Structure 1
Amino acid sequence: MKEPLKTLYVKRTQKDYSLSLKLQIVKEIESGKSGITDCRKKYAIQSRSTIVTWLRKYGNFDWDNQTPNSMQKTPEQRIMELEAEVKLLEKQKALLERQAYIADKKAIFFDMMI
């Protein structure tokens, strides 16, 4: 008597997929290049609901109101967003400069010890 072949089923979680893969799949579906089923087969994703969750989380569709989320922003809103982004980048730059300064001081100190 032959034994039935066992299929390899490995339960996967959201953590098994990289963010870049998730965003790539969402972009592919939203652009209309592929459907959910096509992407499921192409990227070996076990469940349709996994992709739907990514679409809700990372997509440009307002699932509560069932409308696309791509409303045009006024120039004032765009300027405010860019100003906030500039402030954030300036803070990050200052932090990185401080870390580089400390690293340089440590290197000089360690060189003097040796």
Structure 2
Amino acid sequence: MDRVESKRSRRTQRDYTMGFKLQVVDAVEKGDMTYKQAQKIYGIQGRSTVLTWLRKHGKLDWTQPVRLAMPKTPKAKETPAQKIKRLERELEDERLRNLLLNEVVDILDSEHGMSLRKKYIAKERDAFKNTKG
């Protein structure tokens, strides 16, 4: 029986100099690139090699992964047209939300005999009078 040879190339293990490791660690910690970008740019094969270097040789704490929450508003300054579109979307969302809540209140009023609108409006009116007077 003939064996079919695999055409896959074997990965070779490379030993990197301490200077090279420190250079990569320094570039990542300065913020010039992420550790994944460093892997790609420098041709480092292992998935966690750079992360291991950062833990061993870095000045920052790399023991826990950093989870950044995405900000709701983009950091880049919005143009007036972008701001208008965003505000129009938010307004439409609020209109739909208001419509849904009104439907829920109507259903509660009709099916369960709750008069939420009357109670809530009376409370708000009294609270408004107290703040004014």
Shorter-chain-normalised TM-score: which range?
A: 0.3 to 0.5
Q: Provide the TM-score with structure 1 as the length reference.
A: 0.45
Q: Provide the TM-score with structure 2 as the length reference.
A: 0.39
Name the structure, 1 or 2, with higher relative contact order (CA <8 Å, separation 6+). 1
